[in-house]
Each structure stands twice: as structure tokens, then as C-alpha cells.
A and B are shown apart, each in its own frame.
Chain A
Amino acid sequence: MSAPLLSVENLVLTFPAENRRIAVVDKLSLTIARGETLALIGESGCGKSLTALAIMRLLPKPGRIEASSRIEFDGRNLLELSVPEMRTIRGGAIGMIFQEPMTSLNPVTSVGDQVLEAVWLHEKISRAAARARVVELLHMVGIPDPRARFSAYPHQLSGGLKQRVMIAMAMAMRPRLLIADEPTTALDATIRAQILALLRQLSSSTGTAVLLITHDFGVVNEIADRVAVMYAGMIVEEGTRRELLSHPRHPYAQGLLKSIPRPEARGNRLVEIKGVVPRPGRWPTGCRFAPRCPSAFDRCRAELPHRTTVSASQGAWCHLVEYEVHA
């Protein structure tokens, strides 16, 4: 088996509060193989976006990546790289797109020139050749009439077109990994469908691996190969798309899927997850989901569960699953 493209081990992210540091992501580990799309799914505040930022070493201050953490990308430990080295990685091997294309584009530079900058970061070619490459990229992400759009400014483009420009910029560097943080959340339904189809097609045609950050199981089903479900700074279950959507084992993953209003549920009460997500610093001892879990028992409240292997690809951090599997 070849080494994974990205391997995150024991990632601990902390922020200061009063006179101590509070963990917001706690001993998180994940891997992404070359060409694979991994979805990191969870509700607001679970730490999924901070995990993505930490991988790029863009964790906002005063956040800190603790010393125990390891982030290995293509055989290099990203946490040991100098700032210029890291910048080369960000502008090359790892691309990133965000939820809000409106705030990520420079408003006073034409979109063509912005993509051109990205092209030049990656390859030293003539202006004419770079322009041709930009037009090719704009065409690849489905922007109609790319030659005319080259000189357009971001405010002249719709949200969907701006997100396409962001994707074109990220793809200009021919990245091996694309980190996509809620790439379709701010878009309308018909536009979201277009962008999902584009991401799926790009990752299969270019072989780019994708780390997808999302809260939407529908989006997961559309483009992910594997899924990791996060809750309160931890991964609580991981598995293939099919395993997670058809046979989730962790009560949180089960509850999340059941609480989605589906047509079959019409006329019936939706399954609720009682209570609210605990804030960092107020995480309970034991399993963090225990206070809201319908199946929690004494051990859950006392002891943090370890990973229980369910199948070659599926695992859950849950005492109940451990009993079920070993029964």
C-alpha cells in the first residue's frame, strides 16, 4: 500500500482563555490517499474548518498547533517547514477554496489577472502563454465566454461565477490536494448543482485529492469517497460514503442523518438530538456526546472511547459500538 498523500496525526489545536489554553480540536487523525475525496462533516463549532486551516498553517492567532501534532504531506512534515517553504506549498501543491468567493477575490484586479498571478506562481511562462492558460482554465471551470470574462472584475460576476473563478485559481497550480471549505454553502440550489458537478468532474479528470469541509450530507453523497464525522473537536466515526450513509454506527452520526427532513418522514416527528453542542472548554469528561446520547451508559460518562474497528474502512469512537462489535 502506498503512503497516503496527507496524513494528520494527533492534531491538537488550542486557543487561550483566561489563564489556560482550551483545546478546540483534540488528537485528531486522518489520512487522504492520492486522488481521494475525504469529507469532514460536522455541525458548527465542531472544529472542521480550523482543522483545514491548520493543515495550511493558516490557523488564526492566538490559536496554536500543539507540539504533539504531525501533518505530513507527500512525505514532508508541514509543521517543520519554514514560512517561505510553506508559502510555496500553499501556492502549489495544496489549493484552497472557501465558502465566500466574494471575500476571497481581490475587488480591484480583473479576474483574469488574478488567475494569471496564480498561473505565474506555478510556472514561468510568457505572458501570452499564461493568458492562454487562464482562458483554458476559465473554460475548464465552465465560465461562458472566457476571453470576454478575462477583464471582468469580481463585482461584475455572480456568486456562482466567482466560485468558478476561485476554483480556476486553485486548479491553476495543478494542486495534488484541494481543500474545499463549504464550497457550495453560499450558493443557490441550481448553482450548487453546477459547482458540485464541476468539482466531481475536475477531481476525476485531474486526479486531485480533495479535503471537503461541509455540514451537508447531500454534498457528501455527491462528491466524497470517504467521510469523517466530527463532534466537539474529535472524529467520532469514519468510513466510506456508503458505510456512513447506509450504516452509520455512532449515535451522533445516526442522529444527524435521522434529523434531516426527508420525504418519508412527512407527517411524523423528526428525530431530534436533544440539547446543544458543548462549547470548547466545557467538554464533558468521558465521551463528549454522552450528555446528548440516547444510548449512553455509565462508562460513556467516565471514559473517552477509543476507535472500534467496524470494517476495514469503518471505525467508530463509541463504547456501545465496541460492545456490539465484540459481542
Chain B
Amino acid sequence: MTMLSADALLEVRGLKTWFPIRSGVLRRVRGQVRAVDGVDLTIYPGETLALVGESGCGKTTVGRSLLRLVEPTGGNIWFGGVNLSRLSLKAFKPYRQQIQIVMQDPGAALDPRLTVRDAIAEGMEAFGLGSPGAQRTERVADLMRRVSLDPELMWRYPHEFSGGQRQRISIARALAVEPALLICDEATSALDVSIQAQILNLLSELKAERRLTYLFITHDLGVVRYFADRVAVMYLGRIVELGRTERVFAAPRHPYTQALLASIPSLDPDRRGVKPMALGDVPSPIAPPSGCHFHPRCRVRLPSCSSYDPPVVPLPDGLSRCVLAERCADAKPEPERSATAAASALPPQPKAEPTRMEPSP
């Protein structure tokens, strides 16, 4: 039985979301895309947990599974002590008020036929918040002011707004039902950098004001480092490293995290030269590699990595799913490194000694 922490807002254990691949006339199931394959996550009230990874790693599917926008294949999702995955969709509906999502493309997320007023009020109507008419309109005006939009514009349609303004509308729409958890799925990725700064500042303010909790799904490590309290790194459907943001960036404990960090281009003209540390390409989640999913791309793999699933190595602030992390974890904690040294943090070189190591079966 899994241990649940009493103070968690959301707890995910063993989440699996697989998509069947069908082919032929009879639409027989020929395989499974293991988009999410055994994910454990705990989100505490008021924190920002970032879920990072490259395209196809399953990070978006995690967010959608939490809202049951896609139906998980297995696992449990506890929210405030209730196991959401056991509820019927009807019984689940009230929880959609508690968990809201802001997506990458605000153009596609907003109904082009609804005015901004109706788009923002739609959730309030669905959950019966406030009395219809003037009261809701007044609340829409408040929300628009809160996200720095002119309430005079509430009778306009989404296409009349810029990308950044539409993202503000999406955020106001999510806030309208007073959620406890806001899932931001690449919410700033489609925006220009100066507009992204506006939205990140807005999200920071809302967090401080309302003690809003964020699950921040993104591929942008610069944003994560600036914005998140903790980071979970996903690779091919699994979480391979989890920890406090400062620690993960200063002393990553998984070779994949190290490769990701080394690939961030610096803005310092004296520090040029990203290091392509992951070999080759991301394999398909239909047929993930045996053993450690990362081993074909890993520069420090051991012979055993291709056959044994890596152990989940607990760290003081999280975990790493790597045989080598186990060795690191046994050793003394690393001395604090300066923040700027993180990008150049190299993995332990595969000299002679690690190759002898055999995992405990």
C-alpha cells in the first residue's frame, strides 16, 4: 500500500495512460503507446511543480489524465483524500472546478463564437457560481482587470485579441471557478519572450495572492529554473528525476537531466558552446528500449543498463531513476556549486571502474 502524505493537495501513484494502436479491417489492437507508464507525483498546496521533458515524453498526457480529459489506463489520483480515478465521470465533474488547465495555444482553446465575457463566465455557469446576469458580468470585469485586460473589451471575440491577451483571457477563464490547482500546459511556449515575461509575472502574482498551486508542464528549462519550486523530469513515460529546482539545476543526478541542462544555450558571450550530451534521437514510446529507457542515448551507461530496469533511488529532495544515482546517493552530498556551473556539469566519465558494477537483481 502506498503512503500518502496528509498535507498533499494532489497525489498520483502508478499513473498509466496507454493508447491502443489499431490497424486492419477489424481494428485489432496491435500495440500500445505507453504515453504515461507508471508516474508517481505529489503536489503540495501553494507550490509550483514543473514537469519537463521533450516532445512525446508524456508530460501533456499526465496533465490531461489528471483532468480525465483522457482516461487513465491504471493508477490512482488522490485529490484532498478522494480517489478521483475511482469516481464515475459524473461524480468527477465537481473536481474539474478544483483543477483547471491553461493550454499552449489560446487561439484554439477559446471558442471563436463566444464573446470574452461568455468565455470567462462559462465555467461559473457550469458550476452554478454567482447568480446569472449582472453579477457574473461584474465578476468577469473584476477578473479581466486582474489579468490586466480592459473590461470594456468583454463583448469582443477572441480573434480581436493578440496571443498574449488571449492567454490572459484563458487564465481569467480558469480563475473564474476559483481552482486550487492550475495546470499550465506549455502556457507561455507560443508567446514572444517579452509577452512571456508579462504572463509569468501574472502567474507569480496570482500564486502569492491566492496561494494557487501550479503544475507547470513545459519543455523550456529556462522558465522552469526561474519559476518552479520543484522539478520532475520525464523521459518516455516515466519520471527519471525529481527534486528541488536549485538542486536539480546545480547537481543533476540523472544522465538525461544532465544532457537536458547541457543543451540550454547560454546568454553569456563568454560561455558559448552547448554540449550535445544525449546521443541520437528519442526512441518511440510504442517500443521503448529495454532496461533503462535512456540507455541507448546515455554516455555513461553500464552493460547492465540495457537489461535491468533502473532502481528508483531516493534522494533527500526527490528521486533519480539511474544506477549511477544510487552510487552518488551513497556518497557524501556534493558541495554546493555555483548556479552558473550547472550547464557545464558533466556526468561522471565512463572510465574503467563503473563498468564492473552489476545491479542487485
Contact = CB atoms under 8 A, between A and B. Distances in A.
Asked whether A and B interact, the reply is yes
Interface of A: 43-44, 144, 158, 160-161, 188-194, 196-197, 215-219, 221-222, 241-242, 245-246, 255-257, 259-266, 269-273, 276-277
Contacts of A158: 281-282
A270 B199 CA distance: 10
Interface string B142-164: 00000000000000000000101
Given A196-B274, A259-B193, A189 B264 contact: yes
Given A222-B272, A257-B267, A43 B262 contact: no
Nearest to A144: B280
B197 A188 contact: no
Contacts of B204: 269
B319 interface: no
B74 to A, nearest CB: 27
A241 B226 contact: no
B192 to A, nearest CB: 4
20 contacts: A161-B281, A189-B221, A190-B259, A190-B260, A190-B277, A217-B267, A219-B265, A221-B265, A222-B273, A222-B274, A259-B194, A259-B196, A260-B267, A261-B222, A261-B226, A262-B267, A263-B225, A270-B200, A272-B198, A276-B164
A41 to B, nearest CB: 10
Contacts of A241: 269
B287 to A, nearest CB: 14
Contact of A263 (B192, B196, B249, B265): B249
A245 B198 CA distance: 22
B201 A270 contact: yes
Contacts of B192: 43-44, 215, 277
A245 B270 CA distance: 10
B244 to A, nearest CB: 12
A255 B201 CA distance: 15
Contacts of B197: 259-261, 270-273
- What class of interface size applies to chain B in its complex with A? 35 or more
Contacts of B198: 272
Contacts of B280: 144
Main secondary structure of the interface of A (DSSP, over half): helix
Contact of B223 (A161, A261, A277): A261
Interface string B238-280: 0000000000010000000001101111111100111111101
Interface in B315-361: 339-340
A144 B280 CA distance: 8
A190 B267 contact: no
A84 B262 CA distance: 45
B269 A190 contact: no
Interface of B: 54-55, 162, 164-165, 192-198, 200-201, 204, 219, 221-223, 225-227, 249, 259-260, 262-269, 272-278, 280-282, 297, 339-340
Contacts of B265: 193, 196, 216, 218-219, 221-222
Contacts of B55: 188
Given A216-B265, A219-B265, A245-B269, 5 more contacts: A188-B219, A188-B282, A218-B222, A222-B272, A276-B164
Given A160-B281, A245-B269, A189 B276 contact: no
Contacts of B194: 43, 255-256, 259, 272-273
Contacts of B227: 261
A44 to B, nearest CB: 6
Given A161-B281, A257-B267, A263 B339 contact: yes
Nearest to A271: B197
Contacts of B162: 276
A270 B204 CA distance: 10
Contacts of A266: 225-226
Kindly name the residue among B54, B260, B274 whose own CB sees the greatest number of chain A CB atoms within 10 A: B274
A216 B274 CA distance: 14
A30 B55 CA distance: 36
A221 B239 CA distance: 31
Contact of A245 (B165, B260, B268): B268
